[in-house]
């Protein structure tokens, strides 16, 4: 009986996962900004990838001077996922004019009590406000987020997403 329940749970999980990813692919195609055409002789294949695609390619890390834990951001299709050492938070977003991340819908969060309050405050700022974004790859790949109040935060790329 337990073996059948595990098998059913596994099949249900795979089915839901495939439905989710097929829906995400549709959203990705819908929300992906138009891309300018560049000749291949002008740019390397890496630089031909749009900022929108690079945003989703990496896990981004910001180290606040007030916390021992980094803030990690992951952009996946039309969702921002954030972690700062305690709670996991997320929200849907759209890209406007290939330069601005605009949060949409409601923010979701786990509710674990912890001492990473500065990171929690910053994550809520990132997930609640439109942000200009710019990705640079020299000397290292970074993501600069600028809030409407002018505050800027520079994230480094951690690992490439598969």
Phi, psi of 37 (to 5 degrees): -85, 130
Residue 41 DSSP label: T
Encoded tokens for 158: 């951690």
**In contact, 61 and 71? CB cutoff 8 Å:** yes
- For 22, the enclosing helix (H) or strand (E) is helix 2-31
Which residue in 52, 101, 59 sits closest to 83, CA to CA? 59
Just give the CATH number of 51-160: 2.40.128.270
Q: Which tens digit of pLDDT belongs to each residue from 53-86? A: 888 999 999 998 888 899 999 999 899 999 999 9
Break the chain into its structural domains and give their ranges. Answer: 1-30, 51-160
Q: pTM value?
A: 0.68
């Amino acid at each position: 009986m337990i073996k059948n329940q595990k098998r059913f749970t596994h099949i249900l999980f795979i089915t839901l996962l495939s439905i989710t990813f097929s829906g995400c692919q549709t959203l990705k195609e819908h929300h992906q900004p138009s891309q300018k055409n560049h000749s291949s002789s002008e740019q390397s294949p890496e630089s031909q990838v749009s900022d929108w695609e690079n945003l989703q390619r990496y896990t981004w890390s910001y180290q606040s001077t007030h916390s021992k834990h980094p803030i990690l951001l992951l952009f996946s299709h039309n969702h921002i996922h954030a972690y700062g050492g305690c709670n996991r938070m997320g929200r849907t977003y759209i890209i406007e004019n290939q330069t601005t991340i605009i949060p949409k819908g409601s923010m979701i969060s786990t509710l674990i009590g912890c001492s990473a309050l500065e990171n929690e405050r910053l994550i809520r700022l990132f997930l609640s406000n439109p942000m200009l974004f710019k990705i640079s790859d020299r000397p290292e790949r970074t993501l600069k987020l600028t809030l409407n109040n002018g505050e800027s935060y520079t994230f480094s790329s951690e690992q490439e997403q598969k």
